[in-house]
Amino acid sequence: MGSMPTSHFSGLAAPPRDEIFELLGQFRRDTYPERVNLSAGVYCTDEGEPMPLQVVRQAETAIYQAADPHRHDYGAIEGDAAFLALARDFTFSTACSADRVVSVQTVSGSGANHTGARFLADNLRPRRVWLSDPTWVNHDLIWQTVGVAVHYYPYYNAKTRSFDFDGMVAKLEAEAEANDVVLLHACAHNPTGLDPTQEQWKAIAQLCQRKSLFPFFDNAYQGFASGDPDHDAWAVRHFAQLQGPALEMGVAQSFSKNMGLYGHRTGAFHLVTTGEGSMSAARESITANLAMIVRSEFSMSPRFGSDIAKTILGSKALTAEWYTELQVMSSRLISMRKALYDALVRLGTPGSWVHIVNQIGMFSYTGLTTPEVVYLRQKYHIYMHSSGRISMAGLNTKNVEYVASAIHEVRSNPSVMTSA
């Protein structure tokens, strides 16, 4: 018997696993009764249960009842045109004319970020992409994968626990060059929960115009942040309606959070063009290039989630119900911010905690250190990202006191970490 050939892969180095989903897996295997999941951004009810939206259930029922014989067919490579038109209008409303926007359906927000990054890497050929420091971990991975040099602009001032607008502008002013991509979070910045004001957004847009930078918005929380989709789309729409010169830009859209379609991977990438010159030929060519990326990677996006989104967005009555549910979700998160803040203040926990109520959206960047995070997981079975980011959606009226007491213990008496 000959010896086994050596595997091509025996020396393969293992890259680090994604921390957010590793924590989610650990939490799901944990049987401790008081365990708390504050890791991945997934909305839960006050009972700690997942919440399929009522309006999504109605759309599902309508789809099953219609029993369209084509419902399992292949779709078009670039996606469902009716879904894309509704998704585009939900994003931009009347901020720019529809013929300036080329849209392609994607595998939710990650897919939209990746498809957009691949398209821009090949066709804009930026020297760099500028990401906020910190940003959602997948941004870095996605842009590295398409071979564009990743640079960071300051975003978070750890001392003041606030958005570092001056630092961001100074960095981009000094170092960004024409055609560089600047990745921006449309609202509810992940992980910090800190957004620019409208005046600051205007200044960022002017900077992009003046220096010919290419804005790329990650729009994962529209309607989920404030409860009002128009309010949350303000920055994207402001950039899209600018004149002299009009900006070209990308928008990665996700329906994971605002419709709760997490596992259905429902989203779109929108490329906004200037609209000048012979755009009909350019549109055709942009669409063909985007379709080529989609075809080579996954042929086409899944259709069930986009059928649900299309059913909701295509009906005035269902859209109105959806907006009510968005209010319910965003209000619960805001009330949990207040409950956690109040509990920490009542306990007299060392440190300032007002940033928890000042931040917005799914996450709070608590300022807890990595050793504190590890201790909270090991001793109290409270799972959160090592950056100190917590998902507000994992807090509820039953566990918020438990979480606050645990934070109080570790903050009041740091020696518990070394004696653990």
- For the CB of residue 190, give the shortest distance to ligand LMR in the complex, in Å: 5
Q: Which of residues 120-149 bind ligand LMR (CB under 6 A)?
A: 136, 138
Q: Which of residues 351-380 bind ligand LMR (CB under 6 A)?
A: none
Q: Is 257 noted as a catalytic residue in this protein? A: yes
**Candidate list 136, 143, 322, 353, residue with the active-site label:** 136
| H-only helix segments in 124-269 | 137-145, 165-175, 198-211, 229-232, 234-241
Q: Which of residues 79-98 bind ligand LMR (CB under 6 A)?
A: none
Given the complex with ligand LMR, which of 20 and 146 has the nearer CB atom? 20
Q: Is 218 noted as a catalytic residue in this protein? A: yes
Helical pair 81-92 and 304-313, crossing angle rounded to 10 deg? 60
Q: Which of 27, 36, 38, 41 binds ligand LMR (CB under 6 A)?
A: 41
Given the complex with ligand LMR, which of 102 and 187 has the nearer CB atom? 187
Q: Which of 36, 38, 40, 242 binds ligand LMR (CB under 6 A)?
A: 40
- For the CB of residue 391, give the shortest distance to ligand LMR in the complex, in Å: 6
Taking CB under 6 A as the rule, does residue 267 contact ligand LMR? Answer: no
Q: Are 304 and 255 in contact (CB under 8 A)?
A: no
Given the complex with ligand LMR, which of 191 and 227 has the nearer CB atom? 191
In this structure, what is the dihedral angle of CA atoms 109, 39, 167, 217, given to the nearest 10 degrees?
A: 10
Q: Are 169 and 210 in contact (CB under 8 A)?
A: no
Taking CB under 6 A as the rule, does residue 20 contact ligand LMR? Answer: yes
Given the complex with ligand LMR, which of 58 and 190 has the nearer CB atom? 190
**Residue in the shown chain whose Cβ atom is closest to ligand LMR:** 41
Given the complex with ligand LMR, which of 318 and 395 has the nearer CB atom? 395
Q: Which of residues 186-215 bind ligand LMR (CB under 6 A)?
A: 190
Judging by beta carbons within 10 Å of its beta carbon (0-12, 13-18, 19+), is residue 308 exposed, middle or buried?
buried
Given the complex with ligand LMR, which of 41 and 126 has the nearer CB atom? 41
Q: Are 222 and 168 in contact (CB under 8 A)?
A: no
**Candidate list 80, 164, 180, 218, residue with the active-site label:** 218
Which neighbouring-strand residues pair with 88?
A: none
State the Cα–Cα distance between residues 286 and 288, nearest whole angstrom.
5
Q: How far is CA 291 from CA 133, 142, 167, 196, 288, in A?
A: 32, 19, 38, 34, 5
State the Cα–Cα distance between residues 392 and 335, nearest whole angstrom.
10
State the Cα–Cα distance between residues 196 and 202, nearest whole angstrom.
9
| Contact string 147-186 vs ligand LMR (x = CB under 6 A) | ----------------------------------------
Taking CB under 6 A as the rule, does residue 23 contact ligand LMR? Answer: no
In this structure, what is the dihedral angle of CA atoms 169, 174, 179, 180, given to the nearest 10 degrees?
A: -70
**Candidate list 164, 201, 232, 257, residue with the active-site label:** 257
Residue 130's closest CA among 174, 160, 196?
174
Which residues here bind ligand LMR, judged by CB under 6 A? 20, 40-41, 136, 138, 190
Please list the active-site residues.
136, 218, 257
